[in-house]
Amino acid sequence: MARRQYPFHLIEPRWQEQWHAGQTFRAFNPGELIPAGHPFGIRHQLGGKAATAEELPPKFYILDMFPYPSGAGLHVGHPEGYTATDILARYRRAQGRHVLHPMGWDAFGLPAEQYAIKTGQHPRVTTAANIANFTRQIRSLGFSYDWSREVDTTDPGYFRWTQWIFLQLYNAWFNPATRRAEPISTLEYPAGCDTEARRRAYRDSRRLAYVAEAPVNWCPALGTVLANEEVVDGKSEVGGFPVVRKPMRQWMLRITAYAERLLEDLDRIDWSDSLKEMQRNWIGRSEGAEVDFQLEGHGERIRVFTTRPDTLFGATYMVLSPEHRLVAEIATPAQKAEVERYQRFAAGRSDLERAELSKEKTGVWTGAHAINPVNGARIPVWIADYVLASYGTGAIMAVPAHDERDLAFARTFGLPVVQVVRPPDAGTAWEGYCDEGTAVNSSGPGLVLDGLPTAEAKRVVTAWLVEKGLGQRTVNFKLRDWLFSRQRYWGEPFPIVWKADRETGARHHEALGEGELPLMPPELDDYKPTEDGQPPLARATAWLELPGGTVRETNTMPQWAGSCWYYLRYLDARNGTAFVSAEAERYWMTGRPGTGTGPAPASGVDLYVGGTEHAVLHLLYARFWHKVLFDLGHVSTPEPFHKLVNQGLILGEDGQKMSKSRGNVVNPDDVLREYGADAFRLYEMFMGPLSETKPWNTQGVEGVYRFLGRVWRLFVDDASEVEFEQACAADPGNAAAHLARVRLAASIAEGEATPGQLKALHACIRKVTDDLEHLRFNTAISAMMVFVNEALAWTSKPAGVLA
């Protein structure tokens, strides 16, 4: 180990201990007593008072993405974001703002459960041990968190409210007229709902939390289903295990009802373009039309969705998804066997196989024909798995001349291609495919599109379809409802029971009352998932079975449930009667301009820093829950996170992603022991811009460590430094006492600063201030290096300039 540049091992723990003992960074809610001696009370002259929201300084809420406390301990990526937010928290406090800067644990999750399966040790035990280790590591980094607000998603005092929020979703429906969630009691029943059973069925079909039997992503290796967002390239995001489609009865959350608002409200928040774009793409809004095609010799019509109704004249065949409800009806006897064979083939193909073979088109003709409504043309109806059952109407009109996929299919099966759009640059040869242009060959009885540009042609043909009762303008979304149940042990149990009907024996679900929360999970000896998708909770018969044939729901919630609202629990973490008090929520989430400098308080969390891996998971789910809570009057802002910044990934020294198998993982504990928390933090900020991906470099840590040594020597008298070293060598036990005898350097004196010294100081202050406002920590640090390098050369160092 290199010689210690300065005694950080004595300085850092001392301050950390003092901050902890004195709750230095505690924030106070309106109405909460502020102890007389607390720094916040002294600074704002509120000591010994219970200040109202009006008396408190304007808020600034700085949030970190709380970690999953894994057994591996803290990763160097965690402190990157945490240091950035901590610097800003301290800066805003210095500006007179009331800063809320909390930390907690996203502690439900698969690793603890898998460890339990292997060892039989209860996840609660390993989770507690991991949290203790994370706490130690994070404390030793000296962050200014308000630990009085610490949350743990696995604490019954926390997940009680996660269950409560689920009940809010369960007991609400989305009113398309008001575009808001409303209590289920406002739901009006259509004619025909004349029995309680029918009303219940209708009600249950409208709830924001509902049960559906649908093909889901089943992961046999994990023994659970997964949300679309958790499946990457046909494999589980966690572990990379194969995922297959399987029809199962699952709990769903109606996030699709909020698709339009989730999209629109991106415009009112301050996120990076790339992140907003990712959410936009995921929501996947597309405008188009639904068009009905009459089947030849059959009463039914086939409805398709298209974004290009202007190409209707080029539709030369139709394709239904293999799962489409009309397939069995329309397949002609001659084709029936082949159609059924194809249906089985398609059903057996995993998502992975579909993705890998996406270039090769497969399909069969049903034997049926449909009539193109614009020109009366007789076109064949095919089935193919390149048409998805779950998007649009599960059926398309194929326009091979103007759609690449249709063209590939048409070429494979020798179907006709008819050009109906001429590209704008008419000079170039038409290669069988083009997007926008001018309509050609597109006129029939009562409808003339020829010569119209694509946008105009869309309008004209849609109006014609509406007039004839053959179609309408439609908007479709890629976003699917959120599959919300998991077959796991280590998650929140659903506050739901299934009651049996006395006459029919059929079961229906009912919610527990709020008074029955928290619903604790049962104790189990065996946490193993089952092969058939039965959750482990189903083994806990004593817990499961209630009087009168009633049984509990045995699925649990996904890990996202707890992280969907933790930023709200921080506002009032110890509240036993509400998930957050209305007053605390209003104070911390709605901005009130007031004294102090810095930007005006934002609506929602002022600054949220975290990794980009949650772009379409946590960040979309949390916005959805927040909007539901907003609609139901539980929170006062439409969006949870005003400004969001993604920290960049920190790579290993070899420029590769850090991983155990590559052996390039940097352990924060080692860095801390060798260089101290300040050097560690400073290095992570000095590496480069916060949002960039950048490789770790231990020599770079030494560079900033040397800088901190220069700062130390700028202030400390050379002779007393030598005495300190000698005293420590002679009597290591009293290092702290030796440290207290270290003197200020003789060159530091009271006295007038020269114009040059003042200029250097103010250039530094100006640069650092400006950089902090824009989160440019690397250049702020370099400005301080410049100043210190210059100050070291001064023979007389005025105390006023250096302090």
Partner RNA sequence: GCCGCCGUGGUGAAAUGGCAGACACAGGGGACUUAAAAUCCCCUUCCCGCGAGGGAGUGCGGGUUCGAGUCCCGCCGGCGGCACCA
Site residues (vs RNA, CB under 7 A): 2-3, 5, 232, 273-274, 277-278, 281-282, 284, 286, 288, 305-308, 321, 354-355, 357-358, 361, 385-388, 391-392, 394, 396, 403, 405, 476, 478, 612, 615-616, 686-689, 692-695, 697, 699-700, 702-704, 706-707, 709-710, 776, 778-779, 781-782, 785-786, 789, 792-793
CA distance 51 to 418: 75
By beta-carbon proximity to RNA, the closer residue of 165 and 615 is: 615
Cβ burial 363-379 (10 Å sphere, 16+ → b, else e): bbbbbbbbebbbeebeb
Provide the minimum distance between the beta carbon of 590 and RNA in the complex, in angstroms, as a whole number: 31
Q: Is the dihedral of CA 771, 777, 782, 784 positive or negative?
A: positive
Provide the minimum distance between the beta carbon of 50 and RNA in the complex, in angstroms, as a whole number: 45
| Cβ neighbours of residue 455 closer than 8 Å, sequence gap 6 or more | 436
Q: Is 78 helix (H, G, I), strand (E, B) or coil?
A: helix
By beta-carbon proximity to RNA, the closer residue of 78 and 308 is: 308
Cβ(319)–Cβ(386) under 8 Å? yes
- Provide the angle, in degrees to the nearest 10, between the axes of the packed helices 110-119 and 123-139: 130
By beta-carbon proximity to RNA, the closer residue of 403 and 585 is: 403
Nearest alpha-carbon partner for 302 in 393, 376, 398: 393
By beta-carbon proximity to RNA, the closer residue of 31 and 703 is: 703
CA distance 292 to 304: 6
Provide the minimum distance between the beta carbon of 258 and RNA in the complex, in angstroms, as a whole number: 17
| Cβ neighbours of residue 139 closer than 8 Å, sequence gap 6 or more | 16, 20
The residue count of the chain comes to: 803
By beta-carbon proximity to RNA, the closer residue of 347 and 578 is: 347
Nearest alpha-carbon partner for 536 in 122, 75, 88, 90: 122
CA distance 292 to 689: 54
Instruction: Quote the DSSP letter at residue 57.
Output: P
By beta-carbon proximity to RNA, the closer residue of 144 and 698 is: 698
By beta-carbon proximity to RNA, the closer residue of 305 and 490 is: 305
By beta-carbon proximity to RNA, the closer residue of 145 and 707 is: 707
Provide the minimum distance between the beta carbon of 600 and RNA in the complex, in angstroms, as a whole number: 22
Instruction: Annotate 312-341 with DSSP letters as a single string.
Output: GGG--EEEE-TT-TTHHHH--HHHHHHHHH
By beta-carbon proximity to RNA, the closer residue of 4 and 507 is: 4
By beta-carbon proximity to RNA, the closer residue of 89 and 399 is: 399
Provide the minimum distance between the beta carbon of 275 and RNA in the complex, in angstroms, as a whole number: 8
Provide the minimum distance between the beta carbon of 240 and RNA in the complex, in angstroms, as a whole number: 13
Provide the minimum distance between the beta carbon of 503 and RNA in the complex, in angstroms, as a whole number: 41
Provide the minimum distance between the beta carbon of 235 and RNA in the complex, in angstroms, as a whole number: 11
Backbone angles phi, psi at 377, to 5 degrees: -65, 145
Give the torsion through C-alpha atoms of 344, 347, 349, 350, to 10 deg.
-160
Cβ(173)–Cβ(204) under 8 Å? no
| Cβ neighbours of residue 590 closer than 8 Å, sequence gap 6 or more | 601, 603, 636, 637
CA distance 85 to 87: 5
Provide the minimum distance between the beta carbon of 409 and RNA in the complex, in angstroms, as a whole number: 8
By beta-carbon proximity to RNA, the closer residue of 55 and 613 is: 613
By beta-carbon proximity to RNA, the closer residue of 616 and 739 is: 616
Provide the minimum distance between the beta carbon of 652 and RNA in the complex, in angstroms, as a whole number: 13
Instruction: Annotate 349-418 with DSSP letters as a single string.
Output: --HHHHHHTTTS---EEEEEEEE-TTT--EEEEEE-TTS-TTSTTSEEEE-GGG-HHHHHHHHHHT----
CA distance 121 to 221: 21
Report CA-CA distances (Å) from 312 to 284, 289, 372, 413, 786.
Answer: 23, 11, 8, 20, 68
By beta-carbon proximity to RNA, the closer residue of 41 and 363 is: 363
Provide the minimum distance between the beta carbon of 511 and RNA in the complex, in angstroms, as a whole number: 32
Provide the minimum distance between the beta carbon of 197 and RNA in the complex, in angstroms, as a whole number: 34
The pairing of beta strand 607-610 with beta strand 644-646: parallel
By beta-carbon proximity to RNA, the closer residue of 157 and 700 is: 700
Instruction: Quote the DSSP letter at residue 653.
Output: T
Provide the minimum distance between the beta carbon of 345 and RNA in the complex, in angstroms, as a whole number: 12
Provide the minimum distance between the beta carbon of 236 and RNA in the complex, in angstroms, as a whole number: 13
Q: Is 18 helix (H, G, I), strand (E, B) or coil?
A: helix
Cβ(658)–Cβ(668) under 8 Å? no
Token pair for 482: 């959120």
Token pair for 286: 């597309």
By beta-carbon proximity to RNA, the closer residue of 78 and 694 is: 694
Nearest alpha-carbon partner for 420 in 398, 435, 407, 401: 401
By beta-carbon proximity to RNA, the closer residue of 319 and 452 is: 319
Provide the minimum distance between the beta carbon of 382 and RNA in the complex, in angstroms, as a whole number: 12
Provide the minimum distance between the beta carbon of 62 and RNA in the complex, in angstroms, as a whole number: 22
| Amino acid of residue 3 | R
